């Protein structure tokens, strides 16, 4: 089966149940995508697979006959694209394709996953390009969001404070519902479903809970006072749909720019997550507490968040410069 045929059949069906009219490989591909519980992962893996299949099609290569050498060629092609992607991005793209081949091996379509041997870029897993904001910048973002105007102002204020004080992933914010809110032992809580469907019950600080309550009260009044269904999005667009990760990305960057944050184009929802970790560390939260709050499987991942900022602050270059 040629790559071009497979690309055309997958597009438009990857996030739906398999069409019985699809050929066996395409049906298995849809099944492979549905083996991932996260919609974000399914979309990303579908996108990465389509890119590989297009690469094969442009070179008249049947993807089912691809060898390790073809995988190496693809890896180098990815690395030299313009703009040049980060090594981690290349690694994720290769991992996506390799996962597809592994699935086909498990389904007895292929005898072995030759693509798995393709050379992947070396990645420093202790380094992160994302650095948390200074506390003055975080405060400025909260103040700017709360001082805004317009129909979406209360939602904006609630979102910025929520992301900074709770530290969720953007996808986790998008998936929150009214039913995610609760009370336990006198605390306002929010139930966050993270990667692997792992649940974290978080304590919402009073200021954050108040911002969310103001937004929900205004939204309830605007929608006619009809009580929200528990399945309704916690943070919704004017059309009632969950706010998207793309919306959050644009919102955070806009508020950072308006707040006068240095290099606002580098501020993302993930940067707010880093900010939560670094400020929590500065205020005495333990590594275990931060790991649990962030939903990290390994404490080493949490250390990366904390140390990204400390590497600059504790760099010995300043001490050496004083001697010189």
What is the spatial distance between Cα 25 and Cα 6, in angstroms, rounded to a whole number? 8
* Every domain of the chain and the residues it spans: 3-117, 135-313
Cα angle, residue 82 at apex, residues 81 and 88 outer, rounded to 5°: 60
Per-residue model confidence (pLDDT) at position 9: 45
Q: Tell me the CATH number for domain 3-117.
A: 1.10.150.130
Model confidence at 111, pLDDT cuts 50, 70, 90, reads: very high
What's the CATH number of domain 135-313, 3.40.50.620, 1.10.645.10, 1.10.443.10, 2.40.40.20? 1.10.443.10
pLDDT in tens, 135-147: 899 999 999 999 9
Query: Cα dihedral angle (116, 119, 124, 125), rounded to 10 degrees?
Result: 0
Higher per-residue confidence, 21 vs 149: 149
Backbone angles phi, psi at 30, to 5 degrees: -65, -40
Nearest Cα residue to 302 out of 277, 280, 285: 277
pLDDT in tens, 267-288: 999 999 989 988 898 888 888 8
Is 80 exceeded by the pLDDT of residue 115?
A: yes
pLDDT in tens, 28-45: 898 899 888 778 788 889
């Amino acid at each position: 089966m040629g790559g071009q045929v497979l690309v055309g059949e997958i597009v438009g069906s990857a996030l739906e149940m398999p069409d019985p009219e699809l050929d066996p490989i395409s049906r298995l591909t849809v099944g492979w995508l549905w083996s991932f519980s996260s919609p974000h992962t399914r979309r990303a893996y579908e996108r990465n697979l389509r890119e590989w299949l297009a690469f094969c099609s442009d070179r008249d290569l049947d993807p089912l006959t691809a060898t390790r050498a073809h995988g190496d060629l693809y890896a180098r092609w990815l690395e030299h694209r313009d703009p040049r992607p980060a090594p981690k991005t290349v690694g994720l793209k290769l991992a996506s394709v390799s996962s597809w081949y592994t699935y086909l091996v498990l389904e007895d379509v292929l005898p072995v996953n030759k693509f798995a041997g393709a050379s992947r870029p070396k990645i420093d897993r202790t380094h992160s390009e994302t650095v948390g904001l200074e506390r003055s910048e975080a405060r400025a973002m909260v103040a700017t969001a709360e001082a805004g105007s317009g129909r979406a102002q209360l939602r904006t204020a609630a979102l910025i404070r929520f992301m900074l004080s709770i530290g969720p992933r953007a996808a986790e914010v998008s998936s929150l519902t009214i039913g995610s809110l609760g009370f336990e032992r006198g605390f306002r809580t929010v139930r966050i479903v993270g990667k692997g469907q792992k649940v974290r019950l978080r304590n919402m600080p009073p200021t954050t809970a108040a911002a969310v309550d103001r937004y929900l009260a205004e939204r309830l009044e605007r929608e006619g006072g009809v009580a929200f269904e528990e399945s309704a999005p916690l943070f919704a667009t004017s059309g009632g749909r969950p706010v998207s990760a793309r919306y959050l990305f644009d919102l955070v960057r806009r508020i950072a720019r308006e707040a006068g944050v240095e290099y606002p184009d580098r501020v993302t929802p993930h940067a707010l997550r880093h900010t939560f970790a670094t400020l929590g560390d500065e205020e005495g939260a333990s590594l275990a507490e931060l790991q649990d709050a962030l939903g990290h499987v390994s404490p080493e991942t949490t250390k990366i968040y904390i140390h990204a900022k400390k590497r600059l602050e504790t760099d010995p270059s300043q001490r050496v410069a004083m001697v010189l």
